[in-house]
Amino acid sequence: MKFTSILALAGAITPGIAAPTKADKTCSNPAKRIEWRELDVADQQGYIDAVLCLKTKPSRMGLKSSLYDDFPHLHFQLNSWIHGGAPFLPWHRYFGVVYERALRDYGYEGPYTYWDWTKDAEGLRLSPVMASKNGFGGNGGAENTEISASGSTLKCVSDGPFAKLRPEYLETEPKKLTNGGHCLHRNLPEVDEPDAFATMAKGFGPEGVEEVQASGNWSQYARSLEGGPHGSIHACLGGEMNPPLLLMIDRLWWLWQKKNSTRLTEYNGLYKNINQTEQHEVSLDDVLMMGGIDEDITVGDVMDTTKGSLCYTY
């Protein structure tokens, strides 16, 4: 499905139109997602190799790029629909599952993983996730920069397994190929703006997360999680944040749901279609679009990770 089809579908979606339900499928042996530091070295390397492999595979969205690039491209294109409203958590949950399936398709056999950034609130640079060996590489540097088509300066990551990776789509220009890609870039504020980092770190650190997790209802929780920890860690990375670094959000939602079984169906609020022209009350029957990377399913299909085709825990 090309993105023009996504736009057409999004304009047509109403709460009464649903994809076939998947939630009734059997999940007898759920996989356990574990934190990056808990993976053994072989699995860390296997994960990295599979991510790099995605860059060599053709787009499933009909784009002139790669399967790797499908993921940030889809995320950017659906930005106004999947952020700032009720679909934020269920869509990102399924997005992570689809990414994991792609890694499985291309050789990864270890446990699924996530980054617990609460462990690194004192400083991201020292995190094993940012390591040059068995990690995702460190900060971008002023000595290694590129200028994007829009004129912004990208501080390129120069160490680690993704130093030579050339992602195609910039968040500021999500519809444009960058003609050979651009460098993977980060700009950690702890380097040049330690006071700003300290403020941001309060949002994604243990105390900030604990405050969000104490939210008593869905609307308060979803809004606080997106605007607090999610927004803070995004700002701290100061660059691209692809699926491997996003799954902590889903883990927090999973933990919040476990406190009360009624939360497995707690979902309410409003959303706008991609064109921002119509507003609807959300429903568990609403469709989570994957743009042809994988099948579309409903919000109800992802509310419980131990039922249906998701079949995982933390």
Structure tokens that stand for 51 in this block:
């991510």
The overall average pLDDT reported for the chain is: 88
Q: Is residue 9 pLDDT above 60, yes or no?
A: no
- Which of the two residues, 47 and 181, has the higher pLDDT score? 47
- Per-residue pLDDT tens over the stretch 217-227: 999 999 999 99
**pTM of this prediction?**
0.90
**Could you give the angle at which helices 88-105 and 218-225 cross, rounded to 10 degrees?**
60
Give mean pLDDT, residues 48-67: 95
List of residues 6+ apart from 163 with CB closer than 8 A: 137, 156, 157, 184
Residue 125 carries which DSSP code?
G
In the prediction, which pLDDT does 114 show?
A: 95
Give mean pLDDT, residues 68-81: 91
What residue type is 142 in one-letter code?
A: A
Q: Which of 145-154, 176-185, 254-263 has the lowest mean pLDDT?
A: 176-185
The answer to whether 95 and 243 are in contact (CB under 8 A) is: yes
Give mean pLDDT, residues 105-134: 94
pLDDT band for position 174 (cuts 50, 70, 90): low
- Per-residue pLDDT tens over the stretch 226-263: 999 999 998 888 777 665 667 899 999 999 999 999 99
The answer to whether 219 and 278 are in contact (CB under 8 A) is: no
- Which of the two residues, 31 and 176, has the higher pLDDT score? 31
Q: Is residue 24 pLDDT above 70, yes or no?
A: no
Whole-angstrom distance, CA of residue 112 vs CA of residue 291: 23
Which residue intervals of the chain are DSSP H helices?
3-12, 41-54, 67-77, 79-82, 88-105, 189-192, 194-204, 206-213, 218-225, 231-237, 247-258
Taken in order of first residue, the domains within the chain and their CATH numbers are 3-313 (1.10.1280.10)
Give mean pLDDT, residues 157-174: 86
Q: Is residue 50 pLDDT above 80, yes or no?
A: yes
Q: How many CB atoms neighbour CB 261 within 10 A?
A: 10
Whole-angstrom distance, CA of residue 91 vs CA of residue 85: 11
Structure tokens that stand for 12 in this block:
């047509």
Q: What percent of the chain has pLDDT over 90?
A: 68
Whole-angstrom distance, CA of residue 68 vs CA of residue 152: 23
In the prediction, which pLDDT does 275 show?
A: 67
In the prediction, which pLDDT does 156 show?
A: 95
- Per-residue pLDDT tens over the stretch 188-199: 988 889 999 999
In the prediction, which pLDDT does 235 show?
A: 86
Backbone dihedral region for residue 62 (phi beyond 0: left; psi -120 to 50: alpha; all else: beta): left
- Per-residue pLDDT tens over the stretch 257-305: 999 999 999 999 987 766 666 778 899 999 999 999 999 999 999 999 9
In the prediction, which pLDDT does 12 show?
A: 35
In the prediction, which pLDDT does 160 show?
A: 95
Give mean pLDDT, residues 89-100: 96
